[in-house]
Amino acid sequence: MGKVAVGAAVVCAAAVCAAAALVVRHRMISSRKWARGLAIVKEFEEKCGTPIGKLRQLADAMDVEMHAGLASEGGSKLSMLISYVDNLPTG
């Protein structure tokens, strides 16, 4: 009976080790994929990121063009229509 118990314990230990190895392997592969994905996103962010100053300059230019378009017909490259909405929706 002692040899059977030792054998069962060895088989169980081997199964646990194999399962642990599979879990560790899966986590390593997942972490590599995650790291690769993060690297791609970071590269995209660096190449496509627009500085705040440039965004403010663009917003200011759009504001000027919109006001010019509302001030007179053909006063801007942007076609603007005056809207007489005097309050915002509440729901």
pTM, two decimals, is 0.41
- 78 vs 65, more confident: 65
What is the CB-side half-sphere exposure of residue 32 using CA atoms within 13 A? 5
> Is the model's pLDDT at 1 over the cut of 60?
no
Q: For residue 74, is it left (φ>0), alpha (ψ between -120 and 50) or beta?
A: left
Residue 2's pLDDT is: 63
Over residues 2-39, the pLDDT tens digits come to 667 777 777 777 787 777 777 888 887 788 888 888 88
pLDDT > 70 fraction of the chain, expressed in percent and rounded: 95
How distant is the alpha carbon of residue 69 from its chain centre? 36
Residue 57's pLDDT is: 93
Number of Cβ within a 10 Å radius of residue 80: 15
